[in-house]
Every structure is written in structure tokens, then in C-alpha cells.
Chain A
Amino acid sequence: MSWDSLLQTAFIISLITSGIRLAVPVLLAVLGEIITERAGVQNLGLEGIMALGAFAGFAAAFTTGSGIIGLLAGVLAGMLLGLLMGYFAVTLKVNQVIAGISLVLLGQGSANFFYRQIFGVSQRPPRIAGLPEVPIPFLADIPYLGGILFRHNIAVYFTVLLVVIVWVLLFGTTWGLKVRAVGEHPSAADTSGVDVAGIRYACTILGAAFAGLGGAVLSVAQMKLFTENMVAGRGWIAIALVIFSRWHPGLALAGAVLFGLADALQFRFQALGFEAVPYEFLLMLPYILTIVVLLAGGRRGAAPAALGIPYEKE
């Protein structure tokens, strides 16, 4: 292969296109975690929630033959683990780091367990059809840009829409004002008549639903199969990107796309048979990039003041 092939237009377009697609699962998890953390709960269980979402999504899509039902199953699985996290963090007021990590183990373990129970272990894992590509009329025909932005499955469009929705939800609605108050100063919210526990439960469940959806997108729309450890650290990357994004959905989009591009690049290098570097190093690329970006830009400065601290009334 040659360097020239890397710089061809077609290559670049396909790189960006798949970069955007690969950004989606992480972006969903980041958006969800932004909501959760804005309410003052730190859910470190994303990795496990995405794993269970991926399994639930795959299993539902496999049995029903519908990708959309698969995605909904991912949402449901996420909400279930979110409810559990809410119970730990809000009702029991346990250490949220420990609760989150136990959620990781629970999510991954149960996903693998149920997969083996139902589908067994085989050389040729069962596959599903995935989601169809839905080109947007007219826009998809724009040269270059059409291919990059307007020829995706609906999960991609929906996720971009969610960026806007979360933005408006947090900064344009009365509910969002309550959420942010609960994360900054829960006793002020309480004395203003806001139900602190209720908001925290809602945000934890909603955030986990997003992560579950992200996991399902991974299995249903991208890989079209389920393998153990397929989330591969994306849940952790999402937590780092929340800090990078300064708890803001707009920056979350930028961070996730950056991760997606690095991921896509890594795939391309492998496919091109780049032999100068062992492939394990290529695999590390998106993660290293995330760490570098985080070190360069991320400060804890914008964190909600009450993040991770249980609210005690009396």
C-alpha cells in the first residue's frame, strides 16, 4: 500500500462517514451521563450498562427480526440498571464509585451469561440484519457532504437530534433548571420546593437508558452480532468525554466525533495491512487520543458542585 491511497478523496469521505457512525454509541453514553451528573449523581457503570444494552438489543433484534425493537430493548435494559444505580446512590446513599464499578461487573457478567445460555458458544456467532441505511432525499445527493452526513441509519440521525434535545432540556426547560440546581446545591433546590430524590432518580434512569441505547446501537446497527467485551472500554471513554465536554452536550458531540474518527482510522489502517506498527498499537489509538485531548483541554472546573455527594436532609 502507499501513502497516496490514504489521501484519496474517496478514502477520506469513507473515513469521516464511518467516524461519525462509530461516534454514536459513545455519544449516547456521554449525553446520558451528562444528564445524570448534572443532577449530582456520578454513574461509573456505563461500561456495564452498554454491555447489557448490547446484549439485550442483539437478542431482541434476533428474535423479532426488528432492529428498532432491538434498540428499544437496549433502552429498557439501561433503565433497569439505572434504577438499580438510583437505588444505590439516592436511597441507600452508598459510595457512588463503588456502586458504579459493581454495576460494570453486573452488566458485563449478566450480558455474557445470558448470551451463552441462549446462544451458546460457537465459531460462527449468529448475525442479524442490522438497521437499513436511510438516505435523506435530495440532501444525500450533495457531492461529498451528502455521503458524509445524510446516508446513515436512523440511529445516527436520532442521536444528533438527541444532542439538541438534551441541550434544550438542560438549559431551556424548567425541569432542566431543577436538574442543574439539584447537582449544584441540593439543599437550595430542596428549600425551593424541588424533589431532590425524584430528580436524581429520573436523571440516573434517563442517563442509563441512553447508555443502554448506545450499547444496542453497537450490536444491532454496527457489528450486527454480539461478542463478549464488545463495548471495549467505550463506557470509560464516555466518562472521560463528559469531563472533556464540560458537562455540555455541544462539546460532547465534538469529543465523540473525535473518538469516532480515531476509531475509524484505526480500522482503516488495519484493513490496509499497515505492517510497520503491530495492530495492537493501532487499537490503542482512539483511547490514547482521548487521554491526550482530556489532558490538554479537560478541567474539573465546570463539574456540578454536588457531584457524587449524597443529599442528607436531617
Chain B
Amino acid sequence: MTALVEMRGITKRFPGVLANDHVDFVLEAGEIHALLGENGAGKTTLMNILYGLYQPDEGVIYVKGKPAIIHSPHDAIQLGIGMVHQHFQLVPTFSVAENIVLGLPSRREPFLESRRQVHQRIAEVSRAYGLTVDPSCPVWQLSVGEQQRVEILKALYRGATVLILDEPTAVLTPQECERLFDTLLALVQSGKSVIFISHKLDEVMAISHRVTVLRDGRVVGTARTQDISKQELARMMVGREMRPIEKPPAAPAGPVIELHDIWAHDDRGLPALRSVSLQVHAGEILGIAGVDGNGQAELEEVLTGLRRPSRGRYLLAGQNVTHASARELFAAGLAHIPADRNRFGMVADMTLAENSILGMEGQPPFTRLGMLRYREMEGHCSRLIHEYDIRAPGPAAFAGTLSGGNAQKLILAREISRRPKALVAAQPTRGLDIGATEYVRRKLLEQRQRGCAVLLISTELEEILALSDRIAVIYEGQIVGMVDPACVDIEQLGLMMAGAVKEVCELPPRMPAGPEGNPIEGRRP
């Protein structure tokens, strides 16, 4: 029997990167095939090639045994291939139905079909796979989980028999993940095939029939999931054994960051933070858990002076900074590792030396009589490059040439080198490879040991659990619960992230004097 899709010897080069190196990938009909690999392994690139977004430099693709020429997504759609991208490709101002029919011929060409007809046909597909969504709703009003359903519907509506999902669980709560898995199983039962991209081992073990592991653009191996263990997969993916991160006991002191009843609007003027109150103490890491888009971005901006709260009080080390600017907060000892590092963390077309002193440009020794002193800046930068093991040609290189991991290390180095009182770290390991991820996490723990108050915003539950001393769950702009990572039930946490359970009570920081191994739990009496 011929395979449904066969990719042979696929090679793709980007400037300075070999993203895919003679990759072979075979998808059989009716299977869920996981594509596993670390960030940067080349998974997305390989699938973008199959979907016609990129052209391979070498290699051939066969669909149902016949050589396929895929120059554009249009060609891929014709061949029955559909793809749900990691960053959803939906037009926010369009309705669900408009997004679904976009690019398709209608039965009344050149005119659009009546809404009723389209909605009816969408309803048929959504009923068949349990993908409920209101076709007339504008997409910008949908939750991330709903948007994903629209993306899947869109592919199925186009008659996809092969569905590619790029890291579909990254934006979902554990419950939504379960629901997605049910849909995927229903899909293969009806004869479709699924390529499931992930870097999470548990998911791959749970859902896939076969798995192909990519590392540094090369295939490490393909196996039937039932024949392989999680440990073996981990070794294939990383190339070495993974060390669990060690966390020394916390020694929290007085509060450094204090938010009292903070309200704020998002860019559209809708309420984004609703009565957020929390404290971060010196020497602890407070993790903010939640599904992306529940107010994390606005919280980060309020904390760092990039957004004005409409109500409430914000104290930093006892000083009222509610209306302080980013610069004033910086001077008061707040450091910031922004979620969008390319926009807020550094300036791509300035040198590393210039980037390494951003925010300190007016201070000695980097300035004298209003003039920048490049020799001092370069010395400072060289020290950081050395100390933080940043892989870069030197202080004169442009920041835009750094890889994601090294750019993040530079930002981290700059912020930590000021020995801040408080550190706001938003998605600090997003898009980094395992080595850089480990490094960043260790550095955050180091800051906690030093007595810095660390507020960690992350959508990676695993990261929150590994690093935090306390976890605040954010849902629709509200802190819906405070939990203790040492004895939290993941199920419970997932429900909170989905807004199903509220547990609004204050969990005090764990004091070193407290009874050993018996942390106070945030449950209502």
C-alpha cells in the first residue's frame, strides 16, 4: 500500500540556518502522526513546505504515490491538505463563516452565497466532528480555543483529508486539550489523517499512533508510539538526558510588588484587568498561570509602566508608583523581561553594546558630559557576553543577528546586571531551545535566592509549576485563585484556568519558619 504523503530528502536553508536537512517523513492513511522536536528543530518549516508556504531547496513530495508540485497553499488545498498554524491565520474583523469560505468559489459566482446556506453547510461539518461555533460571530470576539475550532473547521470545509496541526495545545487549557484530542480521534475514525506537531512528550504519548523525532533539522527516528518509552523519546529529542531543575527552599521577606484592586483596559478599550490584587515578596517567585489572552499582557504592561491602570494602587518597595512611567519604575529598581522581546526588549538594528546599556544610557560610567562612552559600553557588553555565555560575534554585532535564545540571554543579562529589587519576567522561555530555557530558569531562581521579588508570567504550566513558590491563576482579567505548586492538583488548576472554578483567597508566602513540608494551602475553610 502506498503512503498517503511521502516527503523524501527535504532540505530547506534560511540565511545562516539549515532548517531541514534531508528530512524523510511518511504519513500513512488513518493515523495520527506526531512530529516531535524542540523549538527550532524544523517542524514548522517542514510542514510549511508540505502546505506550499515554503519551497524546498531539495527533495520531493509524493501524495498518494504521485509526485506532487505544491507551489502555494492553493495547490496544497487542492491535494486535500489542510493546516492549522500555531499563530492562527484568521481575519479578526471577519465573521467565522467569512473566514471559512475565504478563497473558495461559491455556488453563485461571482457573488457570495447567502448567509443561511453557508451557515447550514458549516453546521453540518461542525456537527460531524463536535466542533461547535457560532458562524455569524466575528472572530475577534472568540476565545483562543474557539478560534482553533474555526481553523479546523476551515480546513475540513475545504475537504482536507490530511490535517496538520502546529503545536495546537500551546494555547489550550488541559480540558480544552482533551476536547481537541476527542476531535482528532473522531477525525481519524472517519478516515482522515492527522499530523500533530508538538514538543510535549506526554501529549505525543497520549494521542499519536506513530512519532517522528526531529533534532537540528534532521530526523532522529520514527517509531510506533506503543513501542517506545517517554524516556527514549526525550533522549531522541534532546540528544542527552534531561536534568530536572533543582529549587532550593524559599526565604521570602517583606512585600516588594503590591497591587491593590488594579483595573485596566486593553487596546480596544475593553476591560482587561478587573480588580487584580497581589503581592510579590522579596525572595519568592510568584507565577501567573493562565491561558494566553486573559489579561497577562496588560498585567505585564501595568507592572512595567507601559499601561495606565484606570483604578487601583501599585506600590513598589512601599513607594506609590501607580502613575509612574516606565523610566521611573526602572529607576525604582524594577527589571523587565518582556514577552515580546523584539518589540520591547531590544532594538534589532542597534549593536549589542548599545542594547546592553539601554535604560542606563544617561548614567555613569556610560555617559560623560552628555556624550556616550563607547569604550565603557563595549567593556560592559563584553563582560555580559562572557558571563552569560552569549553566542555572538562581539559587542559591535547587531542585535538583530542573534538567535532567539541568545537575544533573550542578552536581555536577561542587562536586566539582572542592575541587581533589581523586583523582576517581571513574561514568557521568558517562549521559543527558546531546551539549553537556553534551562539557563533562563536557573537565572530566575538565582535572582530569587539573591532576594529579588520575581513575578513570572507564563502560559507554560510546566514552567510555572517548576519555578513558582506561589501560583496566581488569571482568568478574564481576574485572579481567580492562589495555589501552592507543591500540592496542587493539575485538574483543579486547569479548571481554574478555564474559569470554571474560583478560589479567591489570599495565600500568604511560605515562611521559612513554617512547619517543614507542610505548606499552607489556599483552600477556603
Contacts and interface: CB of A to CB of B under 8 A. Distances in A.
Q: Do A and B originate from a single complex?
A: yes
- Interface residues on chain A, size class: 20 to 34
B111 A174 contact: yes
Given A193-B77, A193-B103, A194-B103, A174 B91 contact: no
A192 B101 CA distance: 9
Contact of B102 (A177, A195, A313): A177
A189 B103 contact: yes
Interface in A152-193: 168, 172-178, 180-181, 184-185, 187-193
B94 interface: yes
A87 to B, nearest CB: 21
Contacts of A181: 91, 94, 102-103
Given A184-B92, A184-B93, A184-B94, A192 B110 contact: no
Given A172-B112, A174-B105, A188 B90 contact: yes
A183 to B, nearest CB: 9
B159 to A, nearest CB: 12
Interface residues of B, number: 30
A314 interface: yes
Q: Which 6 A-B pairs have the closest CB atoms?
A: A193-B74, A192-B103, A188-B89, A193-B103, A191-B89, A185-B91
B54 interface: yes
B238 to A, nearest CB: 28
A181 B94 CA distance: 8
Given A185-B90, A191-B85, A193-B73, A173 B112 contact: yes
B109 A174 contact: yes
Contacts of B105: 174
B53 interface: yes
Nearest to A169: B110
Given A191-B51, A192-B102, A194-B103, A174 B112 contact: yes
* Interface majority SS (helix, strand, loop, mixed), chain A: helix
Contact of A187 (B83, B89, B98): B89
Contacts of A175: 110
Contacts of B110: 173-175
Given A189-B102, A189-B103, A194-B103, A313 B53 contact: yes
Contacts of A190: 53, 72-73, 89
Contacts of A174: 101, 104-106, 109-112
Interface of B: 14, 51, 53-54, 72-74, 77, 83, 85, 89-94, 98-99, 101-106, 109-112, 154, 158
Interface in A186-216: 187-195
A264 to B, nearest CB: 37
Given A174-B106, A190-B73, A191-B51, 18 more contacts: A168-B111, A173-B112, A174-B101, A178-B102, A181-B103, A184-B91, A185-B90, A185-B92, A188-B102, A190-B72, A192-B102, A193-B73, A193-B104, A194-B102, A195-B72, A195-B74, A313-B53, A314-B54
Contacts of B85: 191
A184 B90 CA distance: 10
A194 B154 CA distance: 14
B103 A185 contact: no
Nearest to A314: B54
Contacts of B72: 190, 193, 195
Contacts of B83: 191
A176 B91 CA distance: 14
A177 B93 contact: no
B73 A191 contact: yes
A240 to B, nearest CB: 23
A187 B88 CA distance: 10
A177 B89 contact: no
A181 to B, nearest CB: 5
A172 B110 CA distance: 9
A184 B94 CA distance: 9
9 contacts: A174-B112, A180-B94, A188-B102, A189-B91, A191-B53, A191-B85, A193-B73, A195-B72, A195-B74
Contacts of A177: 94, 98, 101-102, 112
A190 to B, nearest CB: 6
A194 B98 CA distance: 14
A188 to B, nearest CB: 4
Contacts of A180: 91, 94
Given A178-B103, A194-B102, A194-B103, A185 B89 contact: yes
A207 B101 CA distance: 25
Nearest to B108: A174
A245 to B, nearest CB: 17
Contacts of B99: 188, 192
A192 B73 contact: yes
Interface in A56-74: none
